[in-house]
Chains A and B, each alone.
Chain A
Amino acid sequence: QKEVEQNSGPLSVPEGAIASLNCTYSDRGSQSFFWYRQYSGKSPELIMSIYSNGDKEDGRFTAQLNKASQYVSLLIRDSQPSDSATYLCAVKQAAGNKLTFGGGTRVLVKP
């Protein structure tokens, strides 16, 4: 059973602070990693993808990947109330068309 694990939260963060979200995965053959943001009642929205070890930055978001330790993380800098959402980690193996999702981490940014 290929698994993706996330802390369900809620992760409560003061406005302006850094939110740090973690995700671990069990399949060493995983090649592609994604973070989706999902507001309540809405569909998942892609915010970051990462394929190589190291950091990838996009605006206030930084994704970090460590394949040896089998984890991927997401940092949200200068957190805003509009960042309050559930963040889904998704992992894809090298072959095939399936994504495996973690259970999601709920983030609450308090003004």
Chain B
Amino acid sequence: DTEVTQTPKHLVMGMTNKKSLKCEQHMGHRAMYWYKQKAKKPPELMFVYSYEKLSINESVPSRFSPECPNSSLLNLHLHALQPEDSALYLCASKTGGEGDTQYFGPGTRLTVL
């Protein structure tokens, strides 16, 4: 089973709203990722959690706030976003050892009005 789930599938929010994206995996993976993807571009890394600790923050604006409550869950809290933040937000988790394979969730399509 290589399933990563994400909710919601679609989200429309205003620039003054606060919302959260959720990601869950039950594969025992210990690294989890948030990516942002704009149309016709590759995924752009935002954050990496390794063993529930933030290990990489790719200089993402503070209006994006990640949280890893436990080894299976990853949240992305959104506040005061801009229209240019509209994108597909992808969560991924990674196996360990030689495999080191990242598996992506289905994504959340975010539209900021």
Residue numbers of A with Cβ under 8 A of B are: 32, 34, 36, 41-46, 49, 51, 88, 90, 92, 97-99, 101-104
Residues B78-92 near A (CB distance < 8 A)? 88, 90
Q: How far apart are A11's CB and chain B's nearest CB, in angstroms?
A: 15
Is B68 part of the contact surface with A, judged by Cβ < 8 Å? no
In this assembly, does B103 line the interface, its C-beta being within 8 Å of a C-beta of chain A?
yes
Question: C-beta contact mask, B40-73 vs A, less than 8 Å → 1, else 0?
Answer: 1111010010100001100000000000000000
Given contacts A43-B88, A51-B98, A102-B42, 14 further A-B contacts (CB under 8 A): A34-B101, A42-B107, A43-B90, A43-B104, A45-B104, A46-B101, A46-B102, A88-B43, A97-B33, A97-B50, A97-B94, A98-B45, A99-B45, A103-B41
Which of B31, B43, B103 is the one whose CB lies under 8 Å from A97?
B31
Cβ–Cβ contact A49 & B99, under 8 A: yes
Complex Cα–Cα for A61 and B55 (A): 34
User: Nearest Cβ distance between residue B58 and chain A, in whole angstroms?
Assistant: 9
In the complex, the answer to whether B105 meets A99 with C-beta atoms within 8 Å is no
Contact of B100 among A44, A45, A92, A102 (CB under 8 A): A92
B42 contacts A88, CB within 8 Å? yes
What would 26 A/B residue contacts be, using CB atoms closer than 8 Å? A34-B101, A34-B102, A36-B104, A42-B106, A42-B107, A43-B105, A43-B107, A44-B90, A44-B104, A45-B104, A46-B101, A46-B102, A46-B104, A51-B98, A88-B42, A88-B43, A90-B102, A97-B31, A97-B33, A97-B48, A99-B45, A101-B42, A102-B42, A103-B41, A103-B42, A104-B42
Which 10 pairs from chain A and chain B are nearest by CB?
A: A101-B42, A43-B104, A43-B107, A44-B104, A97-B48, A32-B100, A97-B31, A43-B106, A43-B90, A49-B101
